Amino acid sequence: MFYIENNFLLQNVKNQTKHLLYTMEITILGTSCMVPTKERNVQGIYVEYNGEGILIDCGEGTQRQMNIAGLNRNKIRKILITHWHGDHVSGLIGLLQTISNNENPQKVTLFGPKETKERIFHLLKAVGFEHNRLELDIKELNPKGVEKIFQNKDYYIECAYMDHKMPCLGYSIVDKDKRKINIVKANKLGLKQGPQIGKLQKGQSITIKGKTIKPEDVSHMQQGKKLTIILDTLPCINAYELAKDADLLIAEAAYLAELEEKGLEYKHLTTKDAGLIATKANVKKLIITHFSQRYKTAKEIEEEIKTFFKNSKAAYDFMKVKL
């Protein structure tokens, strides 16, 4: 289920405690293709996962967009670069300089395609850092198909090469399934927060006063959510595989379907292409972005994408989605 802007998905439990069910909040920082317009900035997508910031691409003006959106740059722990065209990375050096200027800057891990280490080296050499306290870990990726590039106990990230004019990656952020304790049932059995609840959350049975309590007696498995982001590509097998069964696919749709030839020339998706990927990949919801500046508004694009994939929407700058 998806809630846009200020709508929240809440679950009421019997003890009248409300729990937010979403784990990712996505903010679209820019929706323009190649150059910014009066209405649209270039590419940047911010994902906050349980307080951790993950930035996908960093076009020029991304820092200012974050300011306007009320997002804290100091939360950024990971930057995922799709490719090194300017509209996707030209704001990167400013962001890194801002982070490095903090008294105690956070460590940032930057993921990107082939040549990322060399490009970052030249980028950092191109400007002067008054206080260079930046702790930057660069992970250069060269996946064969869909590959997992990071994971912890809560989520993992996958990537795959797309079909663009230069090495370009798509990414998926996947929330792992989690066991949720029913506090009402647990309290009735005399359980309180502590090691016993911890064992049940790990799927282990416990014994209290000679009675065995199984995890399924007081809990259920909450299925994790999958977010896939595909920018700058032609339809390809990796796009279908990466987006497979995604709860939300954010994909470019630079052109209306009538400009298929232009899409082929510049290796960009049309609305028809984006709808086809969403359909073949069995995604639940599609949001399109990265619109050509020839379109003054996204109205026509949004109307057309719905003819190719019903549960879809055109992004706009500062759109927020909770997943």
- The predicted-structure confidence for 90-149, as pLDDT tens digits, reads as follows 999 999 999 998 888 899 999 999 999 999 999 999 988 776 788 999 999 999 999 999
Residues forming a β-bridge with 240: none
> What is the mean predicted confidence (pLDDT) over 173-201?
81
235, 277 contact by CB (below 8 A): yes
280 vs 293: CA distance, rounded Å? 28
Q: What is the pTM of this model?
A: 0.87
> Is 80 in the same domain as 205?
no
The phi, psi pair for 321, rounded to 5°, reads -130, 135
17, 162, 190, 202 from 187: Cα distances, Å: 14, 50, 5, 18
Kindly indicate the confidence band of residue 184, based on its pLDDT and cuts at 50, 70 and 90.
confident
Res. 45: pLDDT tops 90 = yes
What is the average pLDDT value for the chain, to the nearest integer?
A: 90
Residue 74 binned pLDDT confidence (cut-offs 50, 70, 90): very high
Q: Using the 3D structure, point to which of 219, 249, 276 is the last residue of a domain.
A: 219
At 190, the pLDDT band (50, 70, 90 cuts) reads: confident
Among 56-60, 102-106, 149-153, name the one with the lowest average pLDDT.
Answer: 102-106
- The residue from 198, 219, 240 where one domain ends is 219
Instruction: Please tell me which residue, 256 or 203, carries the higher pLDDT value.
Output: 256
Would you say 57 and 42 are in contact if contact means Cβ atoms under 8 Å apart?
A: no
pLDDT of residue 62: 98
Domains identified in the chain, total number: 2
Query: What does the pLDDT read at residue 1?
Result: 43
Task: Tell me the range of 126-135, 175-184, 245-254 where mean pLDDT is highest.
Answer: 245-254
- 262/172 same-domain check: yes
Residue 17 has what pLDDT? Answer: 33
* Confidence tier at 43 by pLDDT (50, 70, 90): very high
The domain boundary residue, chosen from 219, 247, 278: 219
pLDDT band at 11 (very low <50, low <70, confident <90, very high): very low
- Give yes or no: residues 208 and 255 share one domain: no
Q: Which two tokens stand for residue 32?
A: 């323009």
Indicate whether 210 and 289 sit together in one domain: no
Residue 32, Ramachandran bin (φ over 0: left; ψ between -120 and 50: alpha; else beta): beta
pLDDT at 202: 77
Q: Whole domain around residue 254: which residue ranges? A: 3-177+223-322
Confidence of residue 272 (pLDDT cuts 50, 70, 90): very high
Which residues are known to be catalytic? 87
47 and 151 together in one domain:
yes
pLDDT higher than threshold 60 for residue 187 = yes
Give the pLDDT confidence of 233-247 residue by residue, as tens digits.
Answer: 999 999 999 999 999
Q: How confident is the model at residue 209 (pLDDT cuts 50, 70, 90)?
A: confident
Spatial contact of 44 and 55, defined as CB atoms under 8 Å apart: yes
Residue 10 confidence class, pLDDT cut points 50, 70, 90: very low
**Same-domain check for residues 61 and 192:** no
Write down the pLDDT at residue 261: 97
**Domain identity same for 74 and 213:** no
Check whether residue 197 and residue 232 sit in a common domain: no
Residues 303 and 187 in one domain: no
Q: How far apart are CA 94 and CA 300, in angstroms?
A: 34
Q: How many CB atoms lie within 10 A of CB 61?
A: 18
CATH of residue 14: 3.60.15.10
Q: Do 129 and 183 have their domain in common?
A: no
Give the confidence band of 218 by pLDDT, cuts at 50, 70, 90. Answer: confident
Considering the domain architecture, whether residues 215 and 230 belong to the same structural domain is answered as no
Is the pLDDT at 20 greater than 60, yes or no? Answer: no
Give the pLDDT band of residue 21 (cuts 50, 70, 90).
Answer: low
pLDDT at 252: 98
Instruction: Give, as one character, the DSSP assignment of residue 74.
Output: G
Q: How far is CA 322 from CA 20, 142, 249, 251, in A?
A: 10, 30, 13, 17
- Domain identity same for 141 and 169: yes
